[in-house]
Amino acid sequence: MNSINVQDFQMLLANQPVAILDIRDNTAFNEGHLSGSISMPTTSLPNRLNELDKETTYYVISHSGRRSDIIAQFLNNHGFDAMHVIGGMKAFRKEAA
């Protein structure tokens, strides 16, 4: 499984543009998200795969990282390049504080 810890993810974000796939629900996304994130809630994702590019690496983020692990595996199984952000937004916010 492809994954990245939050410290490495933050360094990556500081050095280059990346495609972030935020799979939290719309309410959580609207309450705060990483700049440039694509909002694609878990429930809608299977019906929206045609919106994703198989040539792009997606960094999948959820609230705590559990769902992003599952969704990254799902995407990888469907031919996409997806990285699970370990710890999700919760860890990202804690590390940024």
CATH of the domain at 44: 3.40.250.10
- Between the alpha carbon of residue 35 and those of residues 13, 22, 46, 84, the distances in Å are 10, 11, 23, 18
Calculate the average pLDDT of the chain: 95
Return d(Cα 58, Cα 75) in angstroms, integer.
9
**Quick one: CA dihedral 49, 73, 23, 45, positive or negative?**
positive
The secondary structure of residue 65, as a DSSP letter, is: S
User: Quick check: helix, strand or coil at residue 81?
Assistant: strand
Q: What's the pLDDT band for 1 if we cut at 50, 70, 90? A: low
94 pLDDT more than 80: yes
Q: What's the pLDDT band for 8 if we cut at 50, 70, 90? A: very high
Residue given tokens 């809608």 in the structure block:
44
Question: How many domains would you assign to the chain?
Answer: 1
Instruction: List, for residues 36-82, the tens digit of each pLDDT value.
Output: 999 999 999 999 999 999 999 999 999 999 999 999 999 999 999 99
Domain that holds residue 85: 3-96
33 pLDDT more than 90: yes
